[in-house]
Structure 1
Amino acid sequence: MTKSRIGRYLVGAALIAGLAGCESSARQDPLLVRGSTDDIVFAQVPIFRDRPVDESIRGSLELTDYAVALHNAGLLETLQRAGPYTVFAVPNAPLEAEQRATSGQLLATADHASLRRLMQYTIVPGRYTEARLRRMIAKRGGPIGLTTLGGHDVLTVSLEPDTQELLLGDPQGRINRLWLADVPQSNGVLYATQSLLVPEAPR
């Protein structure tokens, strides 16, 4: 791991720790499912199924940039609420690639509206498990559209004909595959994607 990458992780970890430190030490998770401690290991870090989705995102080194982007967009706090929310989190590598392509402006807070809309496009209100998505696709006989958090943009979900794996799509026709699928959370479902999708440009 390069020094710059280590430094970025440390900065991200410090920010996330600071966010957690703002909460009262007496805070109790009202969404905790007692007696359930099942976890799944994602990029060598466990994600507990009985915790809220924001906690799983903040606890994953692979989602450090995504957590920072959600914070800058004012959406990380949203994912602490009861929801439920289905989150298609974007790992560090595709976010870093987009950062380079935009000359470092992707995660900048200067264009808050654009960042917020981009991050809203990764969140869908409701609890959409993989089984539910497959049933919806089968019932419709083809791709379905999920209205994302902003209330206007639609994320397309379909099945790859040969492998039958779930695919995500944006209005530009780009396809996004899943890295991690269908992790139950106390207030929703967490996925991790392999790339970044972008909502339709404002008219």
Structure 2
Amino acid sequence: MKRRTRAVWPVVLAVLSPAVLGGCESTARQDPFFVRPSTDTLVFRDTSLFRDRPLDDSLRGSLALADYSTALIQTGLMTQLQQPGPYTVFAIPNTPLEAAQTADGGHLLDPAMRPSLRRMMAYTIVPGAFTTSELRQMIAKRGGPIGLRTIDGDILSVSIEPGTGELLLGDTQGRTSRIWLSDMPQSNGVLYATQSMLTPGVVASGQVPATIR
């Protein structure tokens, strides 16, 4: 169900209802909720994103990424995205974060959970600016999945999904997530949005693809 009212920012996960957050995820191969009105602007879930703005500005201004922004602020990572970088950010929309909050019994934003939340949010941020075409070139050059090292040193894998040819993110538990919003250039990096939430974990021997950075 598409949200018809605008929530007051910042949105706290613990008080959001599934009805408010519903409709964010899609099983469609291409995101039906964004359009490119020009080479400088992209509209994502009724929010305009601009190439000349920094990552933190775009994240704060997006209703669909309000919960992700709240988590970044609470963990201190939003401040890092104000820096020159560059950074590649794989932002998590509201619905996957609401699901994680529910699965955690509503304690995801508790002060005691702050270290775990920080690591989960850091897993979405990679030093360097990687566009879709650059990621595809690196995958083709290696002949298989590549690994991007996040700001906390964990490995986020990127591969091409057989059959569809789409980019696919993966964590060390074998879970995958499709790209929802692809490589929107920002003044200090590149912004993506994913269709689900991935988490870092213990790496099994031989499980990690070749690391680019």
**Does TM, scored on the shorter chain, surpass 0.5?**
yes
Q: Which residue of 2 aligns with 1:179?
A: 180
Secondary structure of the residue aligned to 1:80 is coil
Equivalent residue, structure 1, for 2:127: 125
In structure 2, the CA distance between the partners of 1:103 and 1:161, relative to structure 1 (3 Å rule), is: same
Structure 2 counterpart of 1:10, which letter? V
Q: Identify the residue that residue 35 of structure 2 maps to in structure 1.
A: none
- Give the paired residue count: 178
- The structural deviation recorded for 1:2 is 11
Distance of aligned partners of 1:138 and 1:179 in 2 relative to their CA distance in 1, 3 Å threshold: same
Q: Which runs of 5 or more structure 1 residues have no equivalent in the other structure?
A: 15-35
SS in structure 1 opposite 2:81? Answer: helix
Query: CA–CA distance in 1 between the matches of 2:167 and 2:11?
Result: 31
Amino acid at match of 2:41: D
In the TM superposition, residue 127 of structure 1 has moved relative to its aligned partner by 0.5
How far apart, in 1, do the equivalents of 2:179 and 2:113 lie?
Answer: 28
Match of 1:91 in 2: 93
Mapped partners of 1:139, 1:181: distance in 2: 21
The 5 A counterparts of 1:30-41 are 38-41=40-43
Deviates more, 1:104-113 or 1:167-176: 104-113
Among 75, 78, 98, the residue aligned to 1:76? 78
Aligned to 2:192, the other structure's residue is in SS state strand
- Report the Cα distance in structure 2 between the residues aligned to 1:42 and 1:155, rounded to whole angstroms: 24
Q: Deviations over 1:38-77 (max 9, x none)?
A: 1100001110011001100000000000000001111001
Following TM superposition, by how much is the alpha carbon of 1:110 offset from its aligned partner in structure 2, in angstroms? Answer: 2.1
Structure 1 175/37 Cα, relative in aligned 2: closer, same or farther at 3 Å?
Answer: closer
The counterpart of 2:10, out of the listed 8, 12, 16, is 12
User: After superposition, where does 1:1-203 map in structure 2 within 5 Å?
Assistant: 9-12=7-10, 38-151=40-153, 153-201=154-202
- d(CA) in 2 for partners of 1:37 and 1:80? 23
Equivalent in the alignment of 2:206: none
**TM-score of the superposed pair, with normalisation by structure 1:** 0.82
Give, in whole Å, the separation in 2 of the partners of 1:112 and 1:46. Answer: 30
Deviation per CA, 1:108-162, whole angstroms, max 9, x where unpaired?
Answer: 33222111111000000000111110010000000000000102x1000000111
What RMSD over aligned residues (CA atoms) do the two structures have, in Å? 2.4
Q: Distance in 2 between matches of 1:143 and 1:125?
A: 18
Equivalent-residue separation in structure 1 for 2:2 and 2:46 (angstroms): 19
* Long gaps (5+) in structure 2: 13-37, 204-213
Distance 1:78 1:92, change over 3 A: same
Q: Percent identity?
A: 60
Q: Deviations over 1:9-33 (max 9, x none)?
A: 325269xxxxxxxxxxxxxxxxxxx
On the 8 A contact 1:128/1:189 being kept in 2, the answer is yes
Corresponding residue number in structure 1 for 2:209: none
Change (3 A) 1:110 1:11: farther
How far the C-alpha of 1:37 sits from its partner, in A, is: 8.2
TM (normalized to structure 2)?
0.78
